[in-house]
Amino acid sequence: MTFPAFLGAFAIIVQAILAFVVIAKDPGRTENRLFSLQLLLFCFWSGAELYLIYHGVDATGIKLLFTPALLLTYFFCIFTAIYPEHQPDATIIKSRAHLVGFFLPAAALLYLLWTGKLFAGFETIAAGFSIDLGRFEFIVKGVLIGYLFLALSTLSNSSKKAETTIQIRRLRYTFAAMLLPVAAGSIVIALSKWFIGGTTMYPLGLFPVLSIIMSLILGYTMLRYNLMEIDVIFSTGLVYTMLTAIMAGVMELFQELMQNILNFSDLWSKIIAILIIAAIFSPVKELLIKLVDKFFGRQTFDSATVMQTILAELRKMPDEKKLFARFLSELNLVLDFSGARLQLPDQQQICTPESLSVCEIADDFAKLPQDINEIDSIIQFYINAGNTEMANAARDMKHRNVRHLFNFIDEERYYGCLLISAKATKVPYTSTEISLLTGLVNEIPHLLANLQMINRLLNQEKISQEIDWASKMLQAISADSITSFCGMPVNSFTSLSTEIKGDMIDICQSQNNSFIGIYDAFHHGIQAVLTLNIMFAVLRCFSDTESQLIQANRVLRCFSQQLCSAATIIRVDKRRIVIANAGNPSPLLISATGIRRLFADQTRPAGYLDEIAPQFHSLELGENELLFCSTNGIYKAFEQLHGQTLEEFLTGAGSDLHDLHQKIAGSIKSLTHQNFSDDITFIIAGQV
């Protein structure tokens, strides 16, 4: 088997396999079916070459060879209209009439081909054959070039509409797959006419190789879309491939012009053509570089516009975690880095992608000057400073593919740092990209500060709303001010702080269960009011004084959060009073002769332990005696305001017990007007 025959057979196998794989992946997609059809036409092309190799060059073989070539140019125009992105407004697929109209030139060439009018003659040469297209030469080339430019125009429209990275890469693969084989093949055919004197040479084996390249690139992008980065690999090759093809075309054009029209000799035609090519080479090359960069090279962007767009997205993030996740996502879309690490104080390092290994970052990197971020500059900075340890730490980061380090820092605090790895293509970051990164990094502290301020405002609003709800719930169960209970004069006083610390006076006057409750729930706000509601409900379920607080303790212990409340229960039967106490200060018996505590020891509140031991006391209240019961807030108020205990104040008040509750309230009036830090609640029962 000769080498061209091997190439043809290899091309048939590769393209047949690719056609099967692509159509099997998704047979319902139009682009998959159309791509498989093109691969089958390539197989037919390679099969025709094998026919020419083994049966010799004849008219039938040439017809078989050029039939798929002419059809491929037409079908590729349709393919570019639906892939990489479907374009309903593409001219060739607007309607069936357009499809038929654009097929007519190819159909005309096929008619001329199979009627034997397309070529004037052919001749076998080494590793191929030469063909004379005669009077139809420029028609054939014009039709093929027309199809080529139609495909390029369609791809150009796709490029303008591409938004995502995947769309752009798919477009570039398609562009490279089309242009490399077409341009390279045109070079050989165009140059062959100049070298062998007026006829076009067709080398066997060339187009199977080019078709394999085209098939593999398009097969890759259709199967996975993102298997390799081809910016650097193809951009330079594309420029010089297209440049050589254009120079060859110019040489052929001027040679034909000077020899056939101006009757110049062959030598002078070549000399003048070479001089013209030398004059236009550099301008054409620069133009091609710009065109290839526009379609295929690295994208340029306005860093200020991109930064404002990214910042606008970041400002929408509700918390720090989502802000940094969006930050890395937006950066990756623009920079296409191979990896990034985000280190925040006292938090686990965030890596993108997640498979990226964690990199230890020394604390001293936070002290780097903000204009030093490139890893080699960081290493040199520490070498110049004589800090070998930090220079080695920077070298270790470079070994882990880190290329830039940026600190999130402002005048007040250090927020963390960002490590950016090299691009997947290993191409250095441009100055525009570094400018974008620097600008975004400088804005991150402001975004975090704004986020913290917003969170503080939201928390304050939440707390304010919770206090409002708690206040309404407390008002629903709190007793109104009373002057008498079960025939006994009673005076009450309540001063609640804005945070709702948990004090409440509860008055139950049902027929079989009458009592006054003085509660002091632990915690504050909603949790305190929840505890008070439980106390309110449970104590009404039991009429036995000894079991009330024990049952309340049992219910409060059922909650996962520790709900506790001090409580004093007072039952009145004419002049007889029964008192149960758990956690509140001992009730005081006040008379003209002095003050006496009813309980010597402090007890635990309900809900604090699994078992509690409430204090009980029963007494006959004399005519010149008063019973004082309170929470601990009144004791705190006297110590803060007067520097003495409540008992000391009452002793100093003398033997006149008339309007005692007004005297106590008046003595702490200044504190209640200043929004004291605790609730103040007390009652005085009895008459003097």
Cβ(88)–Cβ(100) below 8 Å:
no
Dist CA 292 CA 275 (whole Å): 26
- pLDDT, tens digit, 9 for 90 and up, residues 72-131: 888 888 888 887 677 888 888 888 899 999 999 999 999 998 998 888 888 887 777 778
> Is the confidence at residue 7, as pLDDT, over 80?
no
> Is the confidence at residue 666, as pLDDT, over 70?
yes
What residue has token string 């690999």? 233
Residue type, 399: H
Q: What are the phi and psi torsion angles at 78 (to 5°)?
A: -65, -40
**619: number of Cβ within 10 Å:** 15
What pLDDT, on the 0 to 100 scale, is given for residue 234?
47
Instruction: List Cα–Cα distances, 232 to 97, 172, 292, 576, in angstroms.
Output: 41, 12, 11, 100
**Strand-strand pairing, 340-343 and 414-421:** antiparallel
Question: Residue 247 is encoded by which pair of tokens?
Answer: 């120079």
Dist CA 78 CA 370 (whole Å): 53
3-state secondary structure of 630: strand
Which CATH code fits 478-685?
3.60.40.10
Question: Starting from the edge strand earliest in sequence, which strands make up the sheet with 340-343, in order?
Answer: 350-352, 340-343, 414-421, 402-409
What pLDDT, on the 0 to 100 scale, is given for residue 673?
62
Dist CA 269 CA 251 (whole Å): 9
Segment of 175-179, 210-214, 541-545 carrying the highest mean pLDDT? 541-545
Q: How confident is the model at residue 569 (pLDDT cuts 50, 70, 90)?
A: very high
Looking at residue 494, the DSSP 8-state letter turns out to be E
Higher-confidence residue of 449 and 264: namely: 449
Q: How confident is the model at residue 606 (pLDDT cuts 50, 70, 90)?
A: very high
Nearest to 688 by CA among 580, 577, 593: 593
Q: How confident is the model at residue 225 (pLDDT cuts 50, 70, 90)?
A: very low
Q: How confident is the model at residue 186 (pLDDT cuts 50, 70, 90)?
A: very low
What pLDDT, on the 0 to 100 scale, is given for residue 233?
43
Average pLDDT, the chain: 81
Cβ(13)–Cβ(208) below 8 Å:
no
3-state secondary structure 227-251: CCCCHHHHHHHHHHHHHHHHHHHHH
**∠ Cα 537 538 539 (to 5°):** 95
Virtual torsion, Cα 648, 652, 653, 656, nearest 10 deg: 120
Q: What is the DSSP string of 401-465?
A: TEEEEEEEE-SS-EEEEEEEEPBTT-PPPPHHHHHHHHHHHHHHHHHHHHHHHHHHHHHHHHHHH
Nearest to 617 by CA among 650, 654, 651, 589: 589
Question: Residue 54 is encoded by which pair of tokens?
Answer: 């083994």
> Is the confidence at residue 687, as pLDDT, over 70?
yes
Q: How confident is the model at residue 567 (pLDDT cuts 50, 70, 90)?
A: very high
Dist CA 253 CA 255 (whole Å): 5
The stretch 660-686 carries a mean pLDDT of 83
Dist CA 481 CA 596 (whole Å): 26
Higher-confidence residue of 11 and 212: namely: 11
**Hey, CA dihedral for 190, 193, 194, 198, is it positive or negative?**
negative
Higher-confidence residue of 22 and 620: namely: 620
Residues of the chain with CATH 3.30.450.40: 303-452
Higher-confidence residue of 7 and 235: namely: 7
Q: What is the DSSP string of 128-186?
A: EEEEE-GGGHHHHHHHHHHHHHHHHHHHHHHHHH--SHHHHHHHHHHHHHHHHHHHHHH
Cβ(656)–Cβ(688) below 8 Å:
no
Cβ(382)–Cβ(391) below 8 Å:
yes
**13: number of Cβ within 10 Å:** 12
Of the listed ranges 138-147, 376-385, 588-597, the least confidently predicted one is 138-147
The answer for residues whose C-beta is within 8 angstroms of residue 636's C-beta and 6 or more apart is 678
Q: Which helix (H) or strand (E) holds 294?
A: helix 266-295
**20: number of Cβ within 10 Å:** 12
Higher-confidence residue of 8 and 442: namely: 442
> Is the confidence at residue 170, as pLDDT, over 60?
no
Q: How confident is the model at residue 555 (pLDDT cuts 50, 70, 90)?
A: very high
Dist CA 40 CA 60 (whole Å): 20
Nearest to 114 by CA among 54, 64, 47, 175: 64
> Is the confidence at residue 581, as pLDDT, over 90?
yes
Instruction: List Cα–Cα distances, 70 to 148, 205, 285, in angstroms.
Output: 12, 18, 30
Domain 303-452, CATH among 3.30.70.1150, 3.40.50.12280, 3.30.450.40, 3.20.20.70: 3.30.450.40
**206: number of Cβ within 10 Å:** 19
- pLDDT, tens digit, 9 for 90 and up, residues 385-439: 889 999 999 999 999 889 999 999 888 788 889 999 988 766 778 888 888 888 9
Q: What are the phi and psi torsion angles at 529 (to 5°)?
A: -65, -35
> Is the confidence at residue 263, as pLDDT, over 50?
yes
Higher-confidence residue of 113 and 293: namely: 113
Q: How confident is the model at residue 188 (pLDDT cuts 50, 70, 90)?
A: very low
What is the radius of gyration, based on Cα positions, of the chain? 46
Q: How confident is the model at residue 531 (pLDDT cuts 50, 70, 90)?
A: very high
Write down the number of H helices and E strands in the chain: 20, 18
- pLDDT, tens digit, 9 for 90 and up, residues 610-651: 888 999 999 998 888 899 999 999 998 888 887 888 888 888
Question: Residue 644 is encoded by which pair of tokens?
Answer: 């003495």
Residues of the chain with CATH 3.60.40.10: 478-685
Q: Kindly state the percentage of the chain with pLDDT values over 70.
A: 83
The stretch 474-484 carries a mean pLDDT of 83
Q: How confident is the model at residue 216 (pLDDT cuts 50, 70, 90)?
A: low
What pLDDT, on the 0 to 100 scale, is given for residue 171?
60
**192: number of Cβ within 10 Å:** 19
The answer for residues whose C-beta is within 8 angstroms of residue 472's C-beta and 6 or more apart is none
The answer to whether domain 3-228 has CATH 3.40.1800 is no
**∠ Cα 422 428 430 (to 5°):** 120
What pLDDT, on the 0 to 100 scale, is given for residue 605?
93
Dist CA 629 CA 652 (whole Å): 19
> Is the confidence at residue 344, as pLDDT, over 90?
no
Of the listed ranges 2-11, 530-539, 589-598, the least confidently predicted one is 2-11
Of the listed ranges 55-69, 103-117, 219-233, the least confidently predicted one is 219-233
Distance of CA 601 to the CA centre of its chain: 61
Dist CA 171 CA 165 (whole Å): 10
Residues of the chain with CATH 1.20.1070: 3-228
What residue has token string 């009330």? 548
What residue has token string 């017990």? 657
User: Where do the DSSP E strands lie in 623-668?
Assistant: 625-630
> Is the confidence at residue 66, as pLDDT, over 60?
yes
In terms of C-beta density within 10 A (0-12 exposed, 13-18 middle, 19 or more buried), how is residue 636 classed?
middle
What pLDDT, on the 0 to 100 scale, is given for residue 189?
47
Max Cα separation, the chain? 145
Whether pTM exceeds 0.85: no
Question: Residue 235 is encoded by which pair of tokens?
Answer: 């951009």
Dist CA 71 CA 230 (whole Å): 28
The stretch 138-146 carries a mean pLDDT of 80
Dist CA 25 CA 238 (whole Å): 31
Question: Residue 194 is encoded by which pair of tokens?
Answer: 């100049």
Higher-confidence residue of 122 and 676: namely: 122
Cβ(506)–Cβ(474) below 8 Å:
no
What residue has token string 């012009």? 257
